[in-house]
Structure 1
């Protein structure tokens, strides 16, 4: 009987000494359910493809073609037959689970015309060992009298609410303040992101992914909980939060705790920013490596924002080699933990959190000089005049002392930002390479995203909070599933949807009351009919009480509600740069009414602020997001 330590060095157990001696065989890196190896005469090791679908019929019986299984993509796991020796008949066995932790299997044999297609006289029973390992309690009697000789013991499938499947490893690479349009796969013609582009082209690209909040802590807490900030309680950054709100409560369910309950090992490398005092370990992670890195800048390279009596750099060239940069070192930490877990006995979840490309963009060579600032054209909305816009927009521009920053200054900042993005891309490639080198790519889900975007000169703004523009709220979201094909998903999805997605991918049970919806149907190639055709976001600023806004966006329209300022309405079809506020446009009155109804519908669906009649009086009847 196998121990859990043997997961990635699969031991072939001798069941019968038909050849007159005991033997064992070790195979490295295979990802299979169960293989039975039968003694047989010398045969050619020619391979043939096996399609399991036609062979399953009602009543639990099956008929098989004379084929050997080469590979079979099933749910989250790629099942492969590995070459053992030329004198052993290879058989893959897979059938449906009849009850939890008990499997009934059939098999197919080689396509030699002298051997009839066969099936066992009685089913093989698989029992779970230590929750995730399996062994055969008895072997089958074969109709052609081949003797069962070897048994490969592997992790058994899990019985979950979604059915039975092998628990996949999951790697989430999260960036900080990354604009969606900085990536080549989302249309950028200058910034080089070859690894992310390849990931998008081979996997699933979500084209309308939105964060729930433009601020780090609320967005990250939404990712953890599947809840909007007004429900999980982290509404501004925890490092400047009021004393009565130190961060996310440990009473709130998180995907990390739920994955832990299903048997996952969980590791975390990099930025946290969800609680002032408590780390990831208090939320289900086994360990957290924050790491340390210096930030020494080349003299004379700093681009600064200047305040009375003070200034600080927003971009520059690092004096350190790239291997000493914080992004590189976070990837180092993540890769080290990944390699360790890849040889372990549990499915694992790894989160790699880079602080880049959040300012200050102090970028090492060769990335610091990778882009010529002169080639960077102005954003279409750099022409912002602030006319007809909320007063807070101009105030934000002035508070950052950006009045004297022309496009030539922004070109230099953006060039360094792009360098940071290309460095991230390199590190993503390093993590993906490590997954491949460990031989676990066939059972590993890889997700890439960001907590929120960045103004980066759009609308003449710096940083993120204070506005509800797409540059800040729209985020990249790329997913690579084992066996998946490239797809572009046009529906609106949200960062908080990752929480139920991760839990379902790991076979866990979802708590009630979530705002997030699992993206698993999209990942499996489906398109849910009841998916909402709008998205809802909120902002509470970076300082408590400074501002509060709500936004609802449909395919064409965006409405922003600001309780203490002017509202906004944009026709994104005619004005994708969001320069013309139509809030007082008489011809858009009916659209405004409908968008307000959408907003109040989202409010009611998520228990947001419009709970009193005196607040709701100027809103129409709600349009619910889920009809």
Structure 2
């Protein structure tokens, strides 16, 4: 009996212990928050001009009301000043320049193991919906639960957490410059153009004031949509269950902003609403306004951490919320080909100083291309330029770019004074330059490989562009960067000869770009140009032929360019078409073959001229401008 009593006592004790542990576990589970819903409300082409940012000209009551119970970021940035590379960065948590997705607009092979943000969240149990823009420069099919104009969190399973994206197009540069009354018919109050305050890089004319005012009206329309979505959350009982991001994809859709790698092109508005229930997930930010530096590359890993999931090792961004948040010393930016305007520029920002390095400084931002000869603000600038009525600040848009630029954004927010030669900043500038070099090498910046070469190598190897770049040794990348940094700095063309003879195609290419930036006599290196026109890398042959055609009008150069225009590889044809456009009226020997053979291959119904929205459109645009340069009158897209 005694033994039974002891045994029974032990059993009872064990049972009570199990019950107690069970209760403790239940209590712990009750304290653990549910996975938060996460909603992105994004829009196109606007800098930080919400009312809550202190802009009295703006009318954003819904956003401003949300901001009162949210965190307002004063140092948030797109990593690229144009949509596709910005969106690629945003959705992958990787620098577009690492993936090769930094060009507008392209079709890049990405690693098979790349999981973008919605895929990671799907695996964590989230319903993922996108309404509706993707524009990532790679195939998005199958990566969302739903991506359509009908996509909505309301389509999820009952009780399922969601990650939803709503992107609004009404603030895009198209509507901004079109001045359509129908785009703002939902408004009762309109912006007064006479009260507009324009930046110095835009002409102060009645037409430009009208465009500027219309841009603010479109922002007011977007604000209405924010109010509508917040109302839907509240009606569904989800407002206190949802973390809300409100932001733009880059700066204003106007000259000097979008496409420009400066603060006006990169800085974005960003409002983050974290309900009280989830305040611990943003415990590192106590104030309602923060100057914490964040870039688009950081959004995906931060959302993944908010959802309680594991961030893929491949992602390059840093989580900026909660106890595990990481501080950023620098924000990096990139500008590459936009439409048919080839460009390679990189930037680094340390919280006060923005350092920009232009790898093709001989090219003005405002190139002689269709994209800069369209209507709206561009037509107004072109009109005033023809009349000699542009200020010096506006005329800088047409000038070759400095190799290096440094702005003190604390004292010069409108970026009017380049401090690159200030001796008291020499140490700071050297540190920023070194940080940029190390970042480009560490992440194997594919802008150094160049578009034509990286795509040719990826195709030949059957690999992604990212994998091709990662396969380069540090030494090879340093060599390519060394010669790329010579652009705009060449004193004697003979200094480029070792790079003309390099085994690296990209080093040969950049040596040619550096030579192109040199305005002196190049006869001493002409034998190398003749050889490079026959280079096995089309991008090298094209660039060499462009230089020879421009400088020497050599018939052999036109033969090379014609052959390259006839290639089946659209990426290489685009490189050739861009070089041909750069010839101006010297492209006359190619005009007949362009009109009769080349352009018809890329013509179609897009804008009434082009075959598709990708490479064929940009090839067509370059060829159209070439024909215009040679005196032909054609009806281009509006």
Q: Does the pair score TM above 0.5?
A: yes
Compared CA separation, residues 272 and 455, structure 1 to 2 (3 A): closer
Compared CA separation, residues 618 and 582, structure 1 to 2 (3 A): farther
Counterpart for residue 333 of structure 2: 537
Compared CA separation, residues 606 and 246, structure 1 to 2 (3 A): closer
Give distance in 1, aligned partners of 2:318 and 2:427: 30
Counterparts of 1:75-224 in structure 2, within 5 Å, are: 122-124=20-22, 164-180=32-48, 182-224=49-91
User: Which residue of 229, 251, 258 corresponds with 1:464?
Assistant: 258
Flag structure 2 segments of 5+ consecutive residues without an equivalent. Answer: 1-15, 280-285, 362-402, 449-473, 486-638
CA apart distance, 1:377: 1.9
Q: Is the 8 A contact 1:215 1:236 kept in 2?
A: no
Q: Is the 8 A contact 1:223 1:496 kept in 2?
A: yes
User: Which residue of 198, 201, 204 corresponds with 1:378?
Assistant: 198
CA apart distance, 1:272: 1.7
Matched, 1:599 2:497: no
User: Which residue of 271, 283, 302 corresponds with 1:478?
Assistant: 271
Give distance in 2, aligned partners of 1:562 and 1:516: 24
Counterpart for residue 559 of structure 1: 355
User: Which residue of 261, 275, 297 corresponds with 2:123?
Assistant: 261
Q: Is the 8 A contact 1:221 1:248 kept in 2?
A: no
CA apart distance, 1:412: 0.5
Counterpart for residue 272 of structure 1: 134
Give distance in 1, aligned partners of 2:59 and 2:109: 36
Give distance in 1, aligned partners of 2:310 and 2:69: 29
CA apart distance, 1:246: 4.8
TM-score of the superposed pair, with normalisation by structure 2 = 0.56
Counterparts of 1:188-337 in structure 2, within 5 Å, are: 188-238=55-105, 241=106, 245-246=107-108, 251-275=113-137, 278-279=139-140, 281-283=141-143, 285-290=144-149, 333=150, 337=152
Give distance in 2, aligned partners of 1:348 and 1:593: 45
Give distance in 1, aligned partners of 2:88 and 2:442: 19
User: Which residue of 310, 318, 337 corresponds with 1:509?
Assistant: 310
Compared CA separation, residues 124 and 286, structure 1 to 2 (3 A): same
Counterpart for residue 451 of structure 1: 249
Give distance in 1, aligned partners of 2:320 and 2:428: 29
Give distance in 2, aligned partners of 1:247 and 1:215: 20
Give distance in 1, aligned partners of 2:483 and 2:201: 37
CA apart distance, 1:247: 6.9
Flag structure 1 segments of 5+ consecutive residues without an equivalent. Answer: 1-105, 107-118, 128-135, 141-155, 291-332, 384-404, 620-627
CA RMSD across the alignment: 3.1
Q: Is the 8 A contact 2:83 2:135 kept in 1?
A: yes
CA apart distance, 1:123: 3.9
Q: Is the 8 A contact 1:208 1:474 kept in 2?
A: yes
Offset from partner CA, 1:547-580 (integer Å, 9 cap, x none)? 0000011222111111121221222233221112
Q: Secondary structure at the match of 1:607?
A: coil
Matched, 1:572 2:378: no
Compared CA separation, residues 226 and 527, structure 1 to 2 (3 A): closer
Give distance in 2, aligned partners of 1:246 and 1:604: 21
CA apart distance, 1:487: 2.0
CA apart distance, 1:347: 1.0
Q: Is the 8 A contact 1:559 1:592 kept in 2?
A: yes
Q: Secondary structure at the match of 2:292?
A: strand
Q: Is the 8 A contact 1:247 1:275 kept in 2?
A: no
Q: Is the 8 A contact 1:209 1:494 kept in 2?
A: yes
Counterpart for residue 328 of structure 1: none
Q: Secondary structure at the match of 1:360?
A: helix
Compared CA separation, residues 535 and 246, structure 1 to 2 (3 A): closer
User: Which residue of 126, 142, 153 corresponds with 1:338?
Assistant: 153
Flag the structure with higher helix content.
Answer: 2
Give distance in 2, aligned partners of 1:164 and 1:272: 34
Q: Which moved more, 1:535-544 or 1:370-379?
A: 535-544
Name the count of aligned residue pairs: 386
Give distance in 2, aligned partners of 1:254 and 1:527: 21
Counterpart for residue 356 of structure 1: 170
CA apart distance, 1:583: 2.5
Offset from partner CA, 1:452-492 (integer Å, 9 cap, x none)? 11263xxxx26611x22212100111111120475212121
CA apart distance, 1:213: 0.8
Give distance in 1, aligned partners of 2:74 and 2:205: 28
CA apart distance, 1:226: 0.5
Counterpart for residue 429 of structure 1: 227
Matched, 1:550 2:365: no
TM-score of the superposed pair, with normalisation by structure 1 = 0.57
Q: Secondary structure at the match of 1:213?
A: coil
CA apart distance, 1:222: 0.8
Matched, 1:590 2:427: yes
